[in-house]
Structure 1
Amino acid sequence: MTFVQLIDCKTSRFDEMNRLMDTWVERTKGKRTATHSLIGKDRSDSAHIIEIVEFPSYEDAMRNSNLPETDEVFREMVALCDEMPTFTDLDVVRDEQLYAANVRRLFEVIATKGQLPPLNDLMAENYHDHDPANEQDVLGLDAIRREMEMWRGAFDFAFTVEDQIAQGDQVCTRWTWNGTHKGDFLGIPATGKQVTMTGVTIFRCQEDGKITEGWWQYDRLGLMTQLGVLDQYEV
């Protein structure tokens, strides 16, 4: 679970404090576990500073805190403060930006050439997939990998994300899919045709950002028409 630490302090020596933060990054280079940090200055009190530091987990934050370089910088920071800084530790329970980024990564990974990379950093083991083209829902990470491999074996393809909206724990993505039919697809031999589809997918994410459920809607009839499957039914 993503972990955030808020460092709240007051200092009349902000420029020195800012340089100290650069020093901290340099001293912990290659050891630092923080993934993102920003510093904010109170608009109503220029001496009031808050630094927000993000870590992949609480354990990563503790490893960072235990570095001797961190301890040295902390003592120097206290010396620059007008009063003792305070620390607030937060477990992140909702991060819409992370959810949207992970969904974008998934669309990229699905279309990766060569072997399908592991998905356990993006999708939950108990992932639940809803696709109206399937008689039954696809349950579990291994099962959705097999579904992806079916598409990857039949087409060389790529997704273009047209729009994306994140709200709460869900991310809605409108996409365009372009592919080349290179292998068997539902009993249809490779045609070599260039095909395209549009669709919308809603993914639900859990607190750590992993995708745990998905609902797909896409123009499968249009795809089959492009592959020539419906020609035999034309009058």
Structure 2
Amino acid sequence: MTFVQLIDCRTSRFDEMNQLMDRWVEQTKGKRTATHDVIGKDRSDASHFIEIVEFPSYEEAMRNSNLPETDRIFQEMVALCDGMPTFTDLDVVRDEQLYAAGARRFFEALGGPEVPSFDGLLIEDYHDHDPANEQDVIGLDAVRREVEMWKSGFDFDFTIDDQLTQGDRVCTRWTWRGTHTGDFMGIPATGKRVSMTGTTIHRCAPGGKLAEGWWQYDRLGLMAQLGVLDDLEQ
């Protein structure tokens, strides 16, 4: 179970404390078990700071605390604080990456039986970058036309293999599987079951809707499965 520790402190020497944390990161390289560290400053009290440190589990947090470097840095941190810091230990009982959830809903909608409206998923002037297209796809109407082109050629769905989030970006690694049921880019239906892998990076707008997307996928491999490359080689 993911474990989070909140460190609540007051200091008028934050620049020094920041440098101290940089030293801890350097000195514990390859040994620390913390996976994420965030420091926030109270907007109503410039001397009030809360550090949020995330670990894979409570046991890993204890391993981290027992590092001699951690103990040394902690003693120096206390000396920079206006009073003794307080600690709150939390077992994480819910962890919902909201931007990632929005991207998952987008891929689920793409794999549905009909062309989705995308009204609750994409902003009105959504901007799609696909190297297979001569021009970027911009706006909901253009996105629907693009999806309609794919759906006219394939009965398909997506499997989410991996997702990573950073700030307002969500990176999704996916596998696409489809049956070639109709004309696609001038290629008549073959009935073949095909697949390809790809990665999409989405930029999310405040509120959670997707605002921009960058696609990379194995379109050449798809064409090979459809037999197009065999025709070119003959």
TM-score class normalised by the smaller sequence: 0.5 to 0.7
Kindly, what percent of the aligned residue pairs are identical?
68
Does residue 138 of structure 2 align to residue 139 of structure 1?
yes
Query: Which position in structure 1 is the counterpart of 2:106?
Result: 106
**Mapping for residues 54-73 of structure 1, pairs under 5 Å:** none
Give, in whole Å, the separation in 1 of the partners of 2:115 and 2:232: 36
Give, in whole Å, the separation in 1 of the partners of 2:140 and 2:116: 13
- Using the TM superposition, give the Cα deviation of residue 120 of structure 1 relative to its aligned residue in structure 2, in angstroms: 1.0
Does residue 198 of structure 2 align to residue 202 of structure 1?
no
Give, in whole Å, the separation in 1 of the partners of 2:96 and 2:152: 33
Query: Which position in structure 1 is the counterpart of 2:147?
Result: 148
Give, in whole Å, the separation in 1 of the partners of 2:146 and 2:231: 28
- Using the TM superposition, give the Cα deviation of residue 164 of structure 1 relative to its aligned residue in structure 2, in angstroms: 0.2
Give, in whole Å, the separation in 2 of the partners of 1:187 and 1:158: 22
Query: Which position in structure 1 is the counterpart of 2:189?
Result: 190
Aligned with 1:116: secondary structure?
coil
1:182 maps to a residue whose letter is T
Q: Which runs of 5+ in 2 are unaligned?
A: 1-94
CA contact (8 A) 1:182 1:191 kept: yes
2:118 maps to a residue whose letter is L
1:204 maps to a residue whose letter is R
Give, in whole Å, the separation in 1 of the partners of 2:115 and 2:177: 18
How large is the Cα RMSD of the aligned pairs?
A: 1.4
- Using the TM superposition, give the Cα deviation of residue 233 of structure 1 relative to its aligned residue in structure 2, in angstroms: 2.7
Give, in whole Å, the separation in 1 of the partners of 2:155 and 2:184: 12
2:127 maps to a residue whose letter is H
CA contact (8 A) 1:96 1:166 kept: no
Number of aligned residues:
140
- Using the TM superposition, give the Cα deviation of residue 153 of structure 1 relative to its aligned residue in structure 2, in angstroms: 1.1
* Structure 2 CA distance for partners of 1:120 and 1:101, relative to 1, 3 Å: same
2:109 maps to a residue whose letter is V
Give, in whole Å, the separation in 1 of the partners of 2:195 and 2:139: 28
**Mapping for residues 4-19 of structure 1, pairs under 5 Å:** none
Q: Which runs of 5+ in 1 are unaligned?
A: 1-94
Superposed structure 1 runs of 4+ greater than 6 Å apart:
none
Query: Which position in structure 2 is the counterpart of 1:178?
Result: 177
Cα deviation 1:103-158 (Å, max 9, x = unaligned): 00010001101x32321100000100000000010111110111011111110111
Give, in whole Å, the separation in 2 of the partners of 1:96 and 1:168: 14
Cα deviation 1:48-76 (Å, max 9, x = unaligned): xxxxxxxxxxxxxxxxxxxxxxxxxxxxx
Query: Which position in structure 1 is the counterpart of 2:228?
Result: 229
TM-score (norm 2): 0.58
